[in-house]
Every structure is written in C-alpha cells, then in structure tokens.
C-alpha cells in the first residue's frame, strides 16, 4: 500500500471500529497527519478522558497509552508498537519510591506524567510539562518530592524557591543538550529566538527566550512576531511547527534530538494496530484506581 492507500485503509478501519487515533507531537509526520488528535501529553490525556470512541489508538509511548487506559478504563487502548517505552519513566521504580515515602512521610509526591501506573499510584498528584507550574504553585508551601525528571524539577525549584527533593531521572533526549549546542546555534543564527522544553538542563533553560511544553513551544512559534527559531526539543515537533507557520524558519538545537521510542511507530503500525486490535494496554484495577486519583487531581487543578 502506498501512503494514500494506507490513509484510506486506516480511515475505513477507524469508522468500522469506532476508533480514534491520538498522536504525540514527537511522532513522525505521516503518523501525526493520520491522527484525529495531535498534541502534548496533557491535551492527549484530556482527549482520552472525554472521547466516546470504543477504541483509542495511542501513537506515542507506553506511559501515554497507560494514562489513557487509567482515565478511560472502559475503552480498549492500543499502543501500535508494544516496545515503545520511555526510558525516563523507568528511572523510578515502585519499590524505591515506597522506600522513599516511608523515610519521608511528610513530603507530597508530585509525579511527572512520564511515569508508570505503579509510580502514579504511589503519588499524590501528577503534572505534565504544560501544567507543572500551575500545579506546583498550588503546593509551593509544602515539602515536596518531584519524580522522575530532575531537570524539570530543578527548573520549578529555581523558579519558585521550593523545598523540593528531586529524583535523579532524566530524559535521555533533552538531557544530552549542552551549553555548547546553545552557543554554536546562537552564533550561527543570531536573530533566532531560542525555545526549549523544560526537560533540558537548567543552565540551558536560563538562556532561552521561551521555555515550555511541546504545545507551549508550538503556540509560541505561532503567536510570536519573530520568524526564526532554534528549537530545543524532539524534532517531530518541527513537522507541526512548519505546517502552522510555513513562512517561518526553524533550526533544531541539535540534530540528535530524536526520541528513539517515539520514532518506533510508523503508519503501517497504526494500520496493523487497528486491523488486529494490537497491542492492548491494560492496568490492574487496584493500581488503576490509585493512579486515577493522582491524574484526576491533576486534571482538576489544570
Ligand atoms: P509534553 O508533550 O507534555 O511537552 O511532553 C514531552 C515528552 O517528553 C513526552 O514524552
Ligand atoms: Fe521519554 Fe524523553 Fe522520549 Fe519523551 S522524549 S518519551 S521523556 S525519552
């Protein structure tokens, strides 16, 4: 099948099965194009919570599909590539977090949505990169732990002067960005605005003209009067940025900004997921109910 035939086959299967396709901005272009909804982690979880489709095909990574299942347990949630995970989500385990909680019962556990259902179940509230500031401000006078992204946590701690412990996890894509990348690209494109995702290190964020979630970065490029940007996040977002602003220029901060897991999913995997109802993501009821509390708290504070 060529791409047009594949799009048509996916459309037919979607209709037949009352399915909806959600794609994260880091997915490759054709996968974003075939999706009914494209967005950041927060937006996609809100869509998952409210859709009336019977099947949710989540073109993203495992924690995103798991979050969709937690929020919409009666739906069938499919992850087109079963192996698509998030290395950062696996940097905090249930056992270690339980040990921490026993030692620090007074700390509110704020959990990045890039985490497993078991870790969410042990947390008080979830956040995504687009609502982290708003939610953390709500808890700012309490003792906190932020899991698992030390970079986003450090950024919040710096901005709001928090009493917050940071788990030593990180995103292997954003954490690899260096001050050298910033200096090189700023020298090469002196009139470009530097925009960066908060999963990068604090010293880089301090150099940025704008820091925000994937959706925040996209909206910034759409609404800004500037027409040239150095983009410090996974390169899948450039597809959508160029689509919205065809006359603006975008430079990726480092050509290595590719999330291997996000790029595992191709159009054919979306088609096969719909055709064979694969690969279903499930969450045990006891974990789901506890994880739901942390996600529901996040959605109500968003
Ligand atoms: P957002 O889309 O919430 O900004 O998240 C980025 C990310 O790393 C997803 O894996
Ligand atoms: Fe995980 Fe980073 Fe990939 Fe996002 S970009 S899925 S945080 S490894």
Task: Let me know if residue 160 belongs to a domain.
Answer: yes
Max CA pair span of the chain: 57
Residues 64 and 106 in one domain: no
Residues 152 and 297 in one domain: yes
Cα distance between residue 140 and residue 138, in whole Å: 6
Burial (CB < 10 A; 0-12, 13-18, 19+), residue 90, is: middle
Task: Let me know if residue 246 belongs to a domain.
Answer: yes
Residues 167 and 292 in one domain: yes
Mean pLDDT, rounded, of the chain: 97
What predicted TM-score, i.e. pTM, was given to this entire model? 0.96
Classify 162 as helix, strand or coil: coil
Q: Relative to the CA of 89, which ligand 2 atom is closest?
A: 1
Mean pLDDT, range 196-208, rounded to an integer:
98
Q: What is the pLDDT of residues 215-231, one digit of tens each?
A: 999 999 999 999 999 99
Task: Let me know if residue 182 belongs to a domain.
Answer: yes
Nearest one of 260, 239, 214, 270 to 65, comparing CA atoms: 270
User: Residue 296: which CATH number?
Assistant: 3.40.50.10800
Q: Relative to the CA of 213, which ligand 1 atom is closest?
A: 4
| CB 265 less than 6 A from any atom of ligand 2 | no
Helix (H) or strand (E) holding 50: helix 41-50
Residue 162: CB atoms within 10 Å: 21
Exposure b/e, 182-195, CB count within 10 A at least 16 = b: beebeeeeeebbbb
Beta bridge partners of 38: 23
Residues 179 and 49 in one domain: no
Structure-token match 């708003």, residue found: 134
Residues 294 and 154 in one domain: yes
Residues 293 and 166 in one domain: yes
Q: What is the pLDDT of residues 264-289, one digit of tens each?
A: 999 999 999 999 999 999 999 999 99
Residues 80 and 27 in one domain: yes
Task: Let me know if residue 149 belongs to a domain.
Answer: yes
How is residue 224 written in tokens?
């800004």
Looking at the 3D structure of the chain, how many domains does it have? 3
Contacts of 41 (CB under 8 A, 6+ apart): 24, 64, 67, 113, 114, 128, 129, 130, 213, 214
Q: What is the pLDDT of residues 83-109, one digit of tens each?
A: 999 999 999 999 999 999 999 999 999
Classify 210 as helix, strand or coil: strand
Task: Let me know if residue 228 belongs to a domain.
Answer: yes
Q: Relative to the CA of 171, which ligand 2 atom is closest?
A: 2
Task: Let me know if residue 257 belongs to a domain.
Answer: no
Nearest CA residue ID for atom 9, ligand 1? 41
How is residue 136 written in tokens?
């953390």
Residues 167 and 293 in one domain: yes
Distance of CA 301 from the midpoint of ligand 2 (Å) = 24
Cα distance between residue 266 and residue 35, in whole Å: 12
Cα distance between residue 302 and residue 298, in whole Å: 6
Residues 155 and 293 in one domain: yes
Nearest CA residue ID for atom 2, ligand 2? 171
For the cut 90, the answer to whether the pLDDT of residue 42 exceeds it is no
Residues 81 and 226 in one domain: no
Q: What is the DSSP letter of 149?
A: B
Instruction: Work out the percent of the chain whose per-residue pLDDT is above 70.
Output: 100
Residues 32 and 99 in one domain: no
Owning domain of residue 186: 174-252
Task: Let me know if residue 81 belongs to a domain.
Answer: yes
Residues 179 and 237 in one domain: yes
């Amino acid at each position: 099948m060529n791409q047009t035939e594949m799009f048509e086959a996916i459309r037919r299967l979607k209709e037949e099965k009352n399915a909806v396709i959600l794609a994260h901005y880091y997915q490759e272009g054709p996968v974003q194009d075939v999706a009914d909804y494209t967005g950041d982690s927060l937006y996609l979880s809100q869509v998952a919570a409210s859709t009336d489709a019977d099947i949710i095909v989540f073109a993203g990574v495992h924690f995103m599909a798991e979050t969709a299942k937690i929020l919409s347990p009666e739906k069938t949630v499919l992850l087109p590539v079963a192996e698509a995970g998030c290395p950062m989500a696996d940097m905090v385990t249930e056992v270690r977090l339980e040990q921490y909680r026993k030692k620090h019962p007074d700390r509110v556990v704020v959990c990045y949505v890039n985490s497993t259902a078991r870790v969410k179940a042990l947390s008080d509230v979830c956040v995504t990169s687009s609502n982290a500031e708003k939610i953390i401000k709500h808890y700012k006078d309490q003792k906190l732990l932020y899991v698992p992204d030390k970079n986003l946590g450090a950024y919040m701690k710096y901005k709001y002067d928090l009493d917050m412990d940071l788990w030593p996890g990180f995103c292997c894509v954003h954490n690899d960005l260096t001050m050298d990348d910033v200096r090189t690209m700023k020298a090469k494109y002196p009139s470009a605005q530097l925009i960066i995702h908060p999963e990068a290190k604090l010293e880089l964020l301090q150099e940025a003209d704008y820091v925000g979630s994937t959706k925040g970065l996209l909206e910034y490029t759409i609404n800004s009067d500037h027409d040239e940007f150095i983009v410090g996040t996974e390169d899948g977002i450039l597809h959508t940025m160029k689509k919205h602003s065809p006359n603006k220029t975008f430079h990726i901060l480092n050509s290595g900004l590719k999330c291997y897991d996000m790029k595992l999913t191709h159009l054919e995997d979306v088609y096969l997921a719909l055709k064979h109802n694969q690969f279903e993501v499930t969450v045990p009821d006891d974990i789901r109910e506890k994880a739901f509390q942390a996600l529901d708290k996040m959605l109500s504070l968003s």
